[in-house]
Amino acid sequence: MNYLFFLFTYFTLVAYGQSDFSSFYFAEPQPNNVAPALQFDSSIIGEYYAEKDTLFRFVITSDSIYTQKSLLFTLTKKDIRKSKGKYFFKNNKLHGIVANEGLTYIKSNDTTYAIYNQKDLYFKPSGGNVLKKQNNIYYLNEKEDNGYFTTYLLYPTSKGILIFALDHEEVLSKIQQFNTLDSLQIDNIKTYLARPNSSEINRFIQDRGFTEVTQYLKN
């Protein structure tokens, strides 16, 4: 009986958790009254590093943003010998860690240290993604597979940049103040779809609707 009660309670909680889960998108790129931009201003182009992880870089070019993570690999002489040729040195590079790419390395005593800079595209205003700028704030509107948008804010500061993200469940009461807010089902998930006008999105930002903040400092 206790076992059956446990199963009933477990599946009830799972079902409740699924029904309570929701998602949020903007119906169109924000702000809706601002024309799209194709490039970032030259004043913010450059490399930034994460405040809490100096091996993580945030790279802004004229038309793209990349993230770059430096990964450190350590190999002893024994590691290289036991690899049976997998790791080898050629043209002053260490090969065998990353496919078809040699890595810069240094040797200290019996240990070899190599660094691999893993680079990933973070945002590019193409393929449906839309970049906008208003009041020194860059709006990174990322188009999702469902055709709607997730929006991030990029705000330059004297020390670097701030990236703001939105946790809709945390600020749902503020989202519900938008005049046009639809509730629909997407992939069996309750989804809020907002169509704020320019004054509403500005008020939402000023009211700290974008609560998740990451700081990157100038390199």
Q: pLDDT 10s per residue in the chain (219 long)? A: 444 444 444 444 444 444 468 999 999 999 999 999 999 999 999 999 988 888 899 999 999 999 999 899 999 999 999 999 999 999 999 999 999 899 999 999 999 999 998 999 999 999 999 999 999 999 999 999 999 999 999 999 999 999 999 999 999 999 999 999 999 998 889 999 999 999 999 999 999 999 999 999 998
Query: What pLDDT sits at residue 14?
Result: 43
Global pTM reads 0.81
Give pLDDT, residue 61.
97
Tokens representing residue 193 in the block: 């779809």
d(CA 140, CA 124): 9
For residue 50, which phi and psi values (nearest 5 degrees)? -65, 140
Residues 6+ apart with CB under 8 A from 212: 164, 165, 166, 167
Side chain identity at residue 39, one-letter code: Q
Pairing relationship of beta strands 189-194 and 22-26 according to DSSP bridges: parallel
Asked if residues 48 and 55 have their Cβ atoms less than 8 Å apart, the reply is: no
| Three-state secondary structure call for residue 12 | helix
Which among 59, 51, 49, 160 is positioned nearest to 119, based on CA atoms? 59
SS percent in the chain: helix, strand, coil, step 5: 20, 50, 35
- Condensed to tens digits (0 to 9), the pLDDT of residues 65-85 reads 999 998 999 999 999 999 999
User: Which pLDDT value is given to residue 20?
Assistant: 66
What span, in angstroms and rounded, lies between the C-alpha atoms of 218 and 65? Answer: 15
Report the chain's terminal Cα–Cα distance, integer Å. 63
Q: Computed over its alpha carbons, how large is the radius of gyration of the chain?
A: 24
Whole-Å CA distances, 189 to 19, 79, 166, 169? 8, 49, 18, 14
